[in-house]
Amino acid sequence: MARPGLEAASPAGSRAGVVRGLTSPLLPLGLLALGAVALAAAASSAGAVAVAAGVAGVALSGST
């Protein structure tokens, strides 16, 4: 039996697919990653490190 998260990716479940996008921490991780990389490219060390810490937080947000 497929797991619920995998079922949501099925073609028949377009609404479920949207829900999956909102429940997966990959979306906020991606946004934060873009921000951190942009700040680092602009040589803003304090800003880039702070946002990178947010990325690290999201990376651990699913674990206890």
Partner 1 sequence: VFAAGLVLGGAVTGGLLGLAAVLLPFSPTPASLALAALGAIALAAYDLRVRAVALPQRRSLILQEVFLRSHAAGFLQFGLEFGSGVRTYVTSAAPYGVVALVLLATDGALPGLLAGLSFGLGRAVAPLQALGADEARWSGDLTAVSRLLERSGSAVVAVVAVLLFLPSIR
Contact footprint for partner 1 (CB under 8 A): 3-8, 16, 19-20, 22-26, 28-29, 32-33, 36-37, 39-41, 43, 45-46, 48-64
Considering the complex, state which of residue 11 and residue 59 has its C-beta at the smaller distance from partner 1: 59
Quick one: tokens of 27? 């979306």
To which residue do tokens 């060390």 refer? 45
Considering the complex, state which of residue 11 and residue 43 has its C-beta at the smaller distance from partner 1: 43
**CA distance between the termini of the chain:** 26
Distance CA 62, CA 64 (A): 7
Name the minimum Å distance from CB 11 to partner 1.
Answer: 17
